[in-house]
Homo-oligomer: A and B are copies of this chain.
Amino acid sequence: MDEILRTIVDKTPGAKAAILMGFDGIAVEQWVAPQYEQDTDIESMAMEFSFRFLELRDAASSLEMGQISDITLKAEYGTVIVRVLSQEYFVAVVLETAAHMGKGRWILRSQAAALTDDLYGN
C-alpha cells in the first residue's frame, strides 16, 4: 500500500505527499517525498479536511448528485486532489502547485483500484 502511495507521488510532478485516510480522520498509510519531509504534515491536513469532505459528500447525496468520486482544492500555497475509494476511505495528494493537477488526477485514478484492493483484501 505504501508502494502505491509512493508511485503516485513519484509519478506526479510537483507532488509532495499522498495519504490514505478514513473519513473519520484516521490515517491508514502515507508517503511523503524525502525533500518535503521537513515541511509537510499531510496527516494534519487530511484530518482537517476529512470531516469537511464528509459534509460535502452528504450534501451531494441530499442533492441527488449521487456519490462524490473526486474533490480538488486549489489554494495559494498548495493544491489537494482527492479520490474517494469507498464509503469509508479516501486518498489525497498534496501538490506544490496546480500545474500538474490534471496529470495528478489521472495517476490517482489509475492507482485507485489497486489501493481499494489492498484495503479490502481482494
A residues near B (Cβ < 8 Å) are 44-45, 48-49, 52, 55-56, 59-60, 62-78, 98, 102
Task: Give min CB distance, A95 to chain B, whole Å.
Answer: 11
- A68 B73 Cβ-Cβ under 8 A: yes
Chain B, residue nearest A48 (CB): B59
Task: Give min CB distance, A90 to chain B, whole Å.
Answer: 13
Chain B, residue nearest A98 (CB): B70
- B72 A60 Cβ-Cβ under 8 A: no
Residues of B within 8 Å of A77, CB to CB, are 64-66
Given contacts A71-B72, A73-B70, whether A56 and B65 have CB atoms under 8 Å apart is no
- B70 A65 Cβ-Cβ under 8 A: no
- B56 A49 Cβ-Cβ under 8 A: yes
- Other-chain contact of A48, B63, B73, B98, B102 (Cβ < 8 Å): B63
- A65 B52 Cβ-Cβ under 8 A: no
Residues of B within 8 Å of A69, CB to CB, are 74-76
- Other-chain contact of A65, B55, B62, B68, B76 (Cβ < 8 Å): B76
